Amino acid sequence: MQTRAIVLRELGLPRPYAESRPLRLEEVELDPPGEGEVLVKVVGAGLCHSDLSIIDASRPRPLPLVLGHEGAGEIVAVGNGIRDVAAGDHVVFQFSASCGRCVRCLEGRPQICESHAVARAKGELMGGGKRFRDASGKPLNHHTGVSCFSEHVVVDRGSVVKIDADVPLHEAAVFGCAVMTGVGAVINTARIRPGDRVAVIGLGGVGLNGVLGAILAGAGQIIAVDINPAKLGLARQLGAHATVDASQADHVAQIRDLSDGGVDFAFELAGSAQALKSAYGSVRAGGSIVIAGLAPQDARFEFSPSELVSGEISISGSYMGSCVPVRDVPRFIAHYKQGRLPIDRLLSQTVSFDEMNEGFDRLSEGTTLRQILLPHGTA
């Protein structure tokens, strides 16, 4: 079938993207779903820093690439062998499909499936090969097996999670990345307990979801940290107990003072080595640093091994919030419907295909939270 999609053909073009135009709207050919695959009409897709890190070459991927990894839509057709979802079902994409057979899947960590990692690096689906072709017939790479900056996509069955039909799909889109990553880092990776003192460093879409996750988990103190006054203000409105301006030279000392000597958990959700340095300096003895922000591939961070030992400090990575998507997406949506995860307050605006370059300018400038692409023009 013919469909329209946003294609990235060159990395690292200069900002503003409104002028350099790295993202181009193209008419592409999309193969029908094969065995174990589904065809989805994309209704909403979030503009995320993970997409931006590819555009600006911080985390390069094979080109040409159909971008997009956070989204939601409606199943149009299913391939052979699929019986648990059907045309008309509403789904959220999840950007790490799982094989169910590798070591990581068998130990209950499908978010770091080894088979999917191989397919992702090749720009392919887990069934092998690519389903997009450009006007000249050349294959286009898939982004994390999703590529939802498109009107329609073919994805592995494991890349979608069925959700209730009463959730607006343009809102449900953010559960595929921002909510899973931010809330999951707090709930699943850190497993914070009621009363714990927490610092959330970096208040983008993922970071503010980290704040919401800490509230949901009953944290005794939540300190939100960023350089943007508007984001600090929103964090307070959402329920953060205190905020700290990270542009101030003594911001780590402020966090330690506010938490009476340091927090129990510091979450680095900015994707920055400097933010990680702040997180490392903010924890007390016995504390933990959780890193869920994707820093540039060449970023480095130094720490003292002796401090980790003497202070029993731990550092943990958190990919996709350590989520099992089929378990966590429905339960996070249930919390949203109950008013306990007000993610709708994090949605900045909707954009069209024609506004994608300008949207990523806004994202790189830090002047927005979650912008939602509407591939078909309406939610």
Closest of 192, 195, 171 to residue 183, by C-alpha = 192
pLDDT in tens, 285-309: 999 999 999 888 889 999 989 999 9
Q: pTM of the prediction?
A: 0.96
Q: Is residue 98 part of a domain?
A: yes
Q: Is residue 379 part of a domain?
A: no
- Helix, strand, coil content of the chain in percent (nearest 5): 35, 25, 40
Q: Are residues 354 and 309 in the same domain?
A: no
The C-alpha atoms of residue 327 and residue 325 are separated, in whole angstroms, by 5
Expressed as residue numbers, the domain containing 310 is 182-319
Q: Are residues 229 and 348 in the same domain?
A: no
Q: Are residues 202 and 170 in the same domain?
A: no
Q: Are residues 71 and 95 in the same domain?
A: yes
Helix and strand counts by DSSP (H, E) for the chain: 13, 18
Helix (H, G, I), strand (E, B) or coil at 338: coil
Are the beta carbons of 279 and 266 closer than 8 angstroms? yes
The C-alpha atoms of residue 217 and residue 186 are separated, in whole angstroms, by 8
The C-alpha atoms of residue 10 and residue 262 are separated, in whole angstroms, by 44
Q: Is residue 332 part of a domain?
A: no
Closest of 216, 157, 155 to residue 184, by C-alpha = 216
The C-alpha atoms of residue 296 and residue 289 are separated, in whole angstroms, by 19
The C-alpha atoms of residue 215 and residue 224 are separated, in whole angstroms, by 12
End-to-end CA distance of the chain: 22
Q: Is residue 326 part of a domain?
A: no
Q: Cis omega (within 30 of 0) on the bond before 60?
A: no
Closest of 234, 189, 245 to residue 212, by C-alpha = 234
Q: Are residues 25 and 92 in the same domain?
A: yes
The C-alpha atoms of residue 234 and residue 224 are separated, in whole angstroms, by 10
Q: Are residues 367 and 314 in the same domain?
A: no
Mean pLDDT value across residues 349-376: 96
Q: Are residues 141 and 222 in the same domain?
A: no
pLDDT number for residue 379: 65
Neighbour tally for 73: CB within 10 Å:
30
pLDDT in tens, 240-278: 999 999 999 999 999 999 999 999 999 999 999 999 999
Q: Are residues 167 and 229 in the same domain?
A: no
Burial class (CB in 10 A: 0-12, 13-18, 19+), 115: middle
Are the beta carbons of 272 and 278 closer than 8 angstroms? no
Q: Are residues 140 and 189 in the same domain?
A: no
The C-alpha atoms of residue 134 and residue 66 are separated, in whole angstroms, by 10
Token pair listed for 321: 């919030």
Find tokens 């695959």 and name the residue: 37
Q: In Å, how far are 23, 154, 201, 264, 337 from 9, measured between CA atoms? A: 8, 20, 33, 44, 39
The H-or-E segment that residue 91 falls in is: strand 90-93
Q: Is residue 38 part of a domain?
A: yes
Q: Is residue 229 part of a domain?
A: yes
pLDDT number for residue 378: 74
Output the domain CATH number for residue 78: 3.90.180.10
Token pair listed for 268: 């680095």
Token pair listed for 234: 């929103």
Task: Indicate if the pLDDT at residue 333 is higher than 90.
Answer: yes
Neighbour tally for 303: CB within 10 Å:
13
Q: Are residues 121 and 204 in the same domain?
A: no
pLDDT in tens, 190-220: 999 999 999 999 999 999 999 999 999 999 9
The C-alpha atoms of residue 50 and residue 191 are separated, in whole angstroms, by 24
Total residue count of the chain as it appears in this document? 379
Q: Is residue 138 part of a domain?
A: yes
The C-alpha atoms of residue 117 and residue 94 are separated, in whole angstroms, by 14
pLDDT in tens, 24-72: 999 999 999 999 999 999 999 999 999 999 999 999 999 999 999 999 9
Q: Is residue 328 part of a domain?
A: no
Are the beta carbons of 44 and 72 closer than 8 angstroms? yes
Output the domain CATH number for residue 303: 3.40.50.720
Neighbour tally for 320: CB within 10 Å:
24
Q: Are residues 212 and 304 in the same domain?
A: yes
Q: Name the domain count of the chain.
A: 2
Mean pLDDT computed over every residue of the chain = 96
Q: Are residues 268 and 172 in the same domain?
A: no
The C-alpha atoms of residue 268 and residue 294 are separated, in whole angstroms, by 9
Per residue in 213-239, is it b (16+ CB within 10 Å) or e — as a string?
Answer: bbbbbebebbbbbbbbeebbebbeebe
pLDDT in tens, 116-144: 999 999 999 999 999 999 999 999 999 99
